Amino acid sequence: MWQDYTISASVGLGGKNRPDDVGTIQILLNRIPLQSGGPATPLVTDGKSGPKTETAIKNFQTHHALAVIDSKVDPGGNTLKKINALLEAQILPEEPTLVVPPALPRTNKLANIVVIGIWGWRGDGIPGDPSAGIVNGIEKIRTELKKVGFVDAEQEEKSKVWSTSWNPTFNSFPFVNPATQTHLDDLYGREPNPTYVALIGHSLGGFAACRLSNTLNRPPDYVALLDPVFGVHGQSSPTVLPRGARVHSWYQDNAAFVVTKVEECSGNLLAGISLFYGREIENAENPMQKVIHQMDAQGNPLKREDTCADGTHANRFITHADIDSDQYLWNTIIKQILSDVAGLER
C-alpha cells in the first residue's frame, strides 16, 4: 500500500532546509523523469539546498503549472503532493511466485560455502571506493576465508563469495520489491548444494537479505543486517523478518547522509533521519543493536580530524550512508563467519 513521503520542514528557497528533508526532496526529484519535470542532471543527494536544488524545484513546479512557483517544497504542500502522485503511479507489480529448487543432501565441505553481500541503491562501487561498503566487506571476507583454505573460482561470475544489488534491474528505483528470484537463481547456479550460507545486507539490501532468507530451501546459517530498509518508507512486516540460525542486525537513527560539525562537537543531533532508515527488528532470539558512532576495528569511536571550539576531537556520528563501512561491524561479521566454518572439511 502506498504511503506518501513527508518532510518535517520546508525545503528550497527560503526554507528551513534541514539536511534530511533536503536529502529526501533531492532523492524524490531524481526519481522523476525529465519528461515529467524531473532534473535534466541528477541532483547530488548531499542534504544541502543550493541553486541546483532550488532550480530543480522551480522547474518541476513550472512544468506542472502549479498555482505557486516559489522554488520551495512545503510539508503537505501542492509540490510534494504532485511528487507523491507521480511516484505512486510508477510503482511496479509484485514478483511472481518464486521458484526454489529442492534441498539436496548436505555436505560438510568448505568448498561448498556461499556468502552473499547485498547492497542497496548507490552501493555499487568498485573495491576500495569508500561508498562501496558491501563490496569492500565481501572482499575482506573472501581474503580471510582463503587464509583458512577456501578456494574460490577465478571467474567473478562463478565466485561463491560475491556482492550484488538488491535489485539489479531497478537498483535506483526503490518502489519495487527485491529481485528475490534473481538472487535465488544466482545462488543455486553458483552452488547447487551449499553447506553453509551467509547473507549480508545494507539498506534495501537488508530487505533483500530478509526476503532471500525466507525463501531458501534451507534456513541460512547466518544473516547480518546493516541498517536495513523495508520498502521506500522503512516499513516492515512479519513476512520479512530474517530467518537464520544466527542473526546479527544493527541500526542507527542519526541521519541519512549528513551530520554537521556543529552536531558532532555538541553531541546533539539537530534533526533525525526522515528517509531510508533501518527499522528495529526486535524478537526474543535476534534483538537489534543500535549504533551511534563510527568505530575502528576494536570498537572505539572514530574522531573528527578537525578540532572543535574547545580544542577536542569529537566522536563521529554514524549515518545510514556509512554504516556499511564500519570497521568494527565488519570485524564482527568476519569473526562470526570464520567461527561458523571452522569445522568444515578442507
Tens digits of residue pLDDT in 308-324: 999 999 999 998 889 99
According to the model, what pLDDT value does residue 252 have?
Answer: 87
- Could you tell me the fold of the domain covering 110-341? Rossmann fold (3.40.50)
Tens digits of residue pLDDT in 118-130: 998 767 666 656 6
Task: Judge if 11-89 and 110-341 fold alike in CATH terms.
Answer: no
According to the model, what pLDDT value does residue 128 have?
Answer: 58
Class of domain 11-89: mainly alpha
Average confidence score pLDDT of the chain: 87
- Burial-class residue 254 by CB neighbours within 10 Å (0-12, 13-18, 19+): buried
Residue 274 has pLDDT above 60, yes or no: no
Residue 276 has pLDDT above 50, yes or no: no
| pLDDT band of 222, cuts 50, 70, 90 | very high
| Residue 198 and residue 220 in contact, taking contact as beta carbons nearer than 8 Å | yes
**For the CA atoms of 128, 129, 134, 135, what is the dihedral angle to 10 degrees?**
-50
Residue 271 has pLDDT above 80, yes or no: no
Q: Which residue has the cell 548444494?
A: 193
Query: d(Cα 34, Cα 235) in Å, to the nearest integer?
Result: 29
User: Residue ranges of the domains in the chain?
Assistant: 11-89, 110-341
| pLDDT band of 131, cuts 50, 70, 90 | low
- Burial-class residue 229 by CB neighbours within 10 Å (0-12, 13-18, 19+): buried
Query: d(Cα 3, Cα 317) in Å, to the nearest integer?
Result: 29
Whole-model pTM: value is: 0.77
Ramachandran class of 76: left when φ > 0, alpha when ψ lies in -120 to 50, beta otherwise: left
